[in-house]
Amino acid sequence: MQINRIKIKNFKSLKNVDVRLNNLTLITGVNSSGKSSFIQSLLFFRE
């Protein structure tokens, strides 16, 4: 199974996020932009 798209609503600092995934997807941004929250949401989904 391959995940092509992730939508996150109201998780920590992420209000409305829609990310399309490719074979390699990089997460970049300035401090406090939600990078860690995005990763934590993936770990939460995995459980």
**Per-residue pLDDT tens digits for 8-17:** 999 999 999 9
Phi, psi of 46 (to 5 degrees): -65, -30
pTM over 0.95: no
The region of weakest confidence among 1-5, 10-14, 30-34 is 1-5
Mean pLDDT, rounded, for 5-28:
95
Q: Which domain holds residue 32?
A: 5-46
Sign of the CA dihedral running 21, 9, 17, 33? negative
pLDDT band with cut points at 50, 70 and 90 for residue 32: very high
Domain count, the chain: 1
pLDDT at 22: 93
Cα→Cα distances 41→12, 16, 35, Å? 9, 13, 10
Q: What value does the CA radius of gyration of the chain take, rounded to a whole number of Å?
A: 11
